Amino acid sequence: MAGSPAFEQLDVAGRTVEVLTQGRGRPLVYLHAGDGIEPSLGFIERLARSFKVIAPSHPGFGASPRHGLRDIHDLAYHTLDLLETLELEAPVVAGSSFGGWIAAEMAVRAPARLGGLVLIDAVGIKTGGPEDRNIVDIFSHTPEALNALSYNRPPPMPAPADLAAALRIASNRESLSRFAWSPTLHNPRLRRWLHRITTPTLVVWGADDRIVAPDYGRAYAQGVPGARFELIEDAGHYPQREQPEAVARAVEAFAGVAAAVPA
């Protein structure tokens, strides 16, 4: 189990952001889901065996101030600013769920800035007709019900360790609702622009995802020229948490890197 993250404070175009950095090698920017970085610390540690992982808290999440940012477009441009601030040349950008949506918006705007794009059960597009619900309305569920929906084998929900941890959870929930409430977890125009993504792309999906089904992931992959779709068995909406080794190996194979043997 991963320990407490050692965040650093970074100035990104005048905005203070907390960033966790682990490992060395090819840079990989990991964009967390709507519940923050902490649930994926084990996966980040695993990726750090083969990449230099840079994991920022999005504005409004964790201890990163929101800085007046208002929507997914602001978050996409902010994260592109982060790449420039860190002088990252062609990093792999991997995003989970809400973070995958941010990554896709970045790749539509500036495909040449990314050396690889990994979408892990990403939300963000609209499939089907106006009356079709393709994404579970997570805002209408209790945390307990959402936890049950999100995993193939739902883990217990531990109580926050202290007040600081509780405040981070509250900040994450508030900010996710601000950025993704309406329309719920998608940009109605994003799908039409996926053809602009010339970045090599891997779409990874949990076979048992009950938040956004695998067919939604296949639609994402079909919209991106040359994208590859990979299903992860025995995993729900967060396959990197339930099957971290399988997802890490898929990312390593896609990026053409080998994992270091742990000491």
pLDDT digits (tens, 9 = 90+) for 33-54: 999 999 999 999 999 999 999 9
Positive or negative, the Cα torsion across 138, 141, 142, 147?
negative
Contact 141, 149 (CB under 8 A): yes
**CA angle at 162 for the pair 157 and 164, rounded to the nearest 5°:** 105
Q: In 14-44, which positions are buried (b, 16+ CB within 10 angstroms) versus exposed (e)? A: ebebbbbbbbebbbbbbbbbbbbbbbbbebb
Cα 234 to its chain centre, rounded Å, is: 20
From 18-27, 82-91, 109-118, 131-140, the region with the lowest mean pLDDT: 131-140
Cα separation, 165 vs 161, whole angstroms: 6
pLDDT digits (tens, 9 = 90+) for 220-244: 999 999 999 999 999 999 999 999 9
Q: What is the mean pLDDT of the chain?
A: 95
pLDDT digits (tens, 9 = 90+) for 123-178: 999 998 877 889 999 999 999 999 999 999 999 988 888 888 899 999 999 999 99
Cα separation, 232 vs 214, whole angstroms: 10
Q: Which residues contact 12 (CB under 8 A, 6 or more apart)?
A: 78, 81, 82, 85
Residue 3 pLDDT > 90? no
pLDDT digits (tens, 9 = 90+) for 182-217: 999 999 999 999 999 999 999 999 999 999 999 999
All domains in the chain, ordered by first residue:
8-255 (3.40.50.1820)
Residue 106 pLDDT > 50? yes
Positive or negative, the Cα torsion across 209, 247, 113, 198?
negative
Cis peptide before 183, with omega less than 30 degrees from 0?
yes
Contact 104, 119 (CB under 8 A): yes
pLDDT at 248: 98
Element containing residue 98 per DSSP (H, E): helix 98-109
Cα separation, 60 vs 48, whole angstroms: 25
